[in-house]
Amino acid sequence: MQLAGFSEHVELVEVSDNEICLVFVNNNYKQVLAAGRHVFWKGLLTYHFQKEDITDIEIGTTVHKQLLEKQTLAYYVRQFKLEPSEKGLLFLNGAFSKILEAGTYYWWKNATSISISKVDIRLTTMDIAGQEILTKDKAQIRINFSIQYQVVDVLKAMLENKDFEKQLYMLMQLALRSYIGRMTLDELMDNKSAINAHVLEETASQVELLGVKVFHAGVKDIILPGDIREIMNQVLVAEKKAQANIITRREETASTRSLLNTAKLMEDNAMLFKLKEMEYVEKIAEKINNISVSGNGQIVDQLKQLFVK
């Protein structure tokens, strides 16, 4: 730089410790300069130098986002992406800064530490499975329960509570066990839908403090011990037999009533009575191959009387 006339033929760029410099050649991005002194020849190419202060993490609007994707800038830029189904909490030097919506974020790399906690805001299913519980009448059952929930307050879920999903699981588990413990097995089997409503109602206020909303809860299945299943099957068989007996008695009653009505008709109509006699004789004859008649001649006369008025 001390040579006579040298400075007239070069461009001198000095970059401070808290800066970087973007170099554009003929209006096209070429490279990035770190802190220090840099020299470029004049005349051959058209240079443009753009200095950026990286003391703050925020990247100004003077830097186009397309440049931030360049490999030469990767050393100086921090990048983080949130999917459309996610929200995030931004922490600077360990302190909460703001809520981040879905998108791609860029920050300068500097002494400031950056961390992001993200959470899925989609409707999510949680299974409370294999819960072994004693009912009020000391019957041990195993129940599988399921809920659908969604994070509606990111700050409550991620900042005010530690591991909100585990806390939500525990709330549902305790409410389920408490309610079933106050029911007999028969009450439980007769009104399973009441479990869903009770669990939702009992946990509503605590769930709100977790920053989530439960949209649906339901019993997937109730598994009974083998001996209780056998007893209930026996009860079911007995109930079905009783129902079958009732149906049989109804049919017998209807048949008897029909016979009574027929008898009354035949009592008032001799011809109908005679036709009924002939019908029964015909049915008897269908089952007889040979007839042996023994006795006096009155038997023949008696048979004839069946077919005369």
Q: What is the CATH number of the domain that holds 185?
A: 3.30.479.30
**Nearest to residue 157, comparing CAs of 115, 120, 131?**
120
Q: Please tell me whether residues 80 and 10 are part of one structural domain.
A: yes
Predicted confidence at residue 274, as pLDDT, reads 67
- Taking the alpha carbons at both ends of the chain, their separation in whole angstroms is 152
Distance CA 102, CA 105 (A): 9
SS3 state of residue 62? coil
Looking at the fold, whether 98 and 133 belong to one and the same domain comes out as: no
Domain count, the chain: 3
Q: Phi/psi at 297 (nearest 5 deg)?
A: -70, -10
The residue length of the chain stands at 309
Among 224, 256, 284, give the residue marking a domain's end. 224
Tell me, yes or no, whether 106 and 131 share the same domain.
Answer: no
Euclidean distance between CA atoms 141 and 224, whole angstroms: 5
Chain mean position to CA 89: 26
Q: Which of 224, 252, 270 is the last residue of a domain?
A: 224
H or E element: which one contains 89?
Answer: strand 86-92
Residue 82 domain-assigned (yes or no): yes
Same domain, 88 and 19: yes
Question: Sheet of 86-92: strands edge to edge?
Answer: 95-100, 86-92, 114-120
Q: Is 291 exposed, middle or buried (0-12, 13-18, 19+ CB in 10 A)?
A: exposed
Same structural domain for residues 202 and 240?
Answer: no
Structure tokens at 24: 């554009």
pLDDT of residue 73: 92
- 47 in a structural domain: yes
Cβ contact 285:291 at 8 Å: no
Q: Are residues 220 and 239 in the same domain?
A: no
The structure's pTM equals 0.67
Q: Do 248 and 191 share a structural domain?
A: no
- In this predicted structure, what is the pLDDT of residue 185? 84
Residue 209 lies in a domain: yes
Q: Are residues 261 and 170 in the same domain?
A: no
Same domain, 153 and 102: no
Print the domain residue range for 238.
230-305
pLDDT at 289: 67
Residue 1 lies in a domain: no
Amino acid occupying residue 305: Q
Q: CB 178: neighbour CB atoms within 10 A?
A: 13
b/e code 100-118 from CB counts within 10 Å (16+ = b): beeeebbbbeeeeebeeeb
Selection from 92, 81, 95, 96 nearest residue 114 by Cα: 92
Q: pLDDT value at position 245? A: 80
Map tokens 């925020």 to a residue: 58
Which residues, 6+ apart, have CB-to-CB distance to 157 below 8 Å? 119, 151, 164, 210, 211, 212
* Average pLDDT, consecutive stretches of 10 residues, N- to C-terminus, the chain (309 residues): 66 91 92 92 86 92 90 93 96 95 94 95 94 85 93 95 95 93 86 88 94 93 71 65 79 78 71 68 70 61 58
